[in-house]
Amino acid sequence: MLIELLKVTECPGSLWLAEARAPFGHAAVRWYGDRAAEPGEYHVEWTIDEDIIWGQNATAAGGVGPGLRTGGQCVVLRGQLGLTEDGAALLDFDGTHILLDLADPPPGEAAGGWVELFIQREKVGLHPYVL
């Protein structure tokens, strides 16, 4: 996914956060790229390093369409939930797929529907890459 990197800052504990903007929102999340990265456009892979637990950090979305925003110390990602035959889960985040670790299967009606994930910002990662 192409994002606009606004800035990279260091937080306590040697955590680097990227303030990133996408066409459907913005948030500060963990940065796995060059700490001296200049503002500009970057292609990134998104990762979520937290188990998804329906009713705790995942719910049906109140709207449709991709979304990205900050909610307190969490990042809220809205996308479509996809389940594979082998039990894997993917969040379709505006055409980018984010692999999810499910603690338990979500309710049957969640598959294919719009969901919101509430993830601690240090558990959402951006990994830049060059095309």
Say which residue the tokens 């500009």 belong to: 40
How many other CB atoms are there within 10 angstroms of residue 128's CB atom?
16
In 3D space, the residue among 4, 45, 44 whose CA is nearest the CA of residue 27 turns out to be 4
Give the pTM: 0.93
pLDDT digits (tens, 9 = 90+) for 68-89: 999 888 999 999 999 888 878 9
**33-72 tens-digit pLDDT:** 999 999 999 999 999 999 999 999 999 998 899 999 998 8
- pLDDT(4) > 90: yes
* Encoded amino acid at 4, one letter: E
